[in-house]
């Protein structure tokens, strides 16, 4: 999901089973992503999905995954079969998104996959974009309370989109 005026690109690793089945980003109800986006962009679960995406676009947020395809039994990032991963084409995407000021990763796995698979293919100016790893919104990442995740996401995203 993107907009030609996006200022920040948020990257997950690979959609989970429920997201794939529903064809929606972060469809797992316990995932905190939409709770965080409710605070940042007014795009919470109480809003119909297509309208949530529109609100992210209005907030100048693009949303995508590092992996175009990969094998993964279940939905945990730790189960991704690294040898099976094909990354999305970020070099093309970033050329079409000239206003992107930063890339944020929803967790460490997305960041590691991006560094390994995408960065080597990027043009120098694309490689120079600031990159920030944010706390995973996954319910599997229970080591940080929601309030801490929200605080960190706000302090990184708000300056990028305003």
**Distance, first Cα to last Cα, the chain:** 19
- Taking the CB of residue 141, how many other CB atoms lie within 10 A of it? 16
Round the average pLDDT of the chain to a whole number and report it: 89
The answer to whether 62 and 53 have CB atoms below 8 angstroms apart is no
| Domains in the chain, number | 1
For residue 121, the enclosing domain spans 8-157
108 has catalytic annotation: no
Question: The pTM is what?
Answer: 0.91
In a domain, 147, yes or no: yes
In a domain, 104, yes or no: yes
Which residues does residue 69 pair with via DSSP β-bridges, in sequence order?
86
CA distance readout (Å), 33 to 84, 91, 137, 139: 26, 26, 5, 10
Buried b (16+ CB within 10 A) or exposed e, 19-38: beeeebbbbbeebbbbbbbb
Q: Is the per-residue pLDDT at 76 higher than 80?
A: no
- CATH number, position 139: 3.40.470.10
pLDDT in tens, 132-158: 999 999 887 778 899 999 999 999 999
In a domain, 2, yes or no: no
In a domain, 17, yes or no: yes
Q: Choose, from 31, 88, 106, 108, the residue flagged as catalytic.
A: 31
Rounded (5°) CA angle 110-137-133: 40
């Amino acid at each position: 999901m993107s907009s030609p005026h996006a200022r920040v690109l948020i990257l997950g690793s690979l959609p989970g089973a429920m997201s794939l089945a529903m064809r929606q980003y972060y469809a797992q109800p316990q995932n905190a992503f939409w709770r965080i986006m409710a605070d940042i962009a007014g795009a919470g679960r109480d809003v119909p999905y297509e309208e949530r995406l529109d609100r992210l676009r209005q907030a100048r947020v693009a949303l995508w995954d590092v992996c175009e395809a990969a094998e993964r039994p279940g939905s945990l990032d730790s189960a991704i079969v690294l040898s099976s991963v094909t990354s999305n084409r970020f070099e093309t995407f970033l050329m079409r998104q000239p206003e992107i000021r930063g890339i944020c990763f929803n967790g460490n796995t997305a960041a590691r996959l991006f560094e390994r698979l995408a960065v080597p293919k990027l043009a120098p100016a694309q490689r120079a974009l600031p990159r920030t790893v944010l706390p995973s919104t996954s319910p599997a990442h229970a080591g940080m309370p929601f309030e801490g995740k929200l605080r960190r996401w706000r302090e990184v995203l708000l300056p990028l989109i305003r």
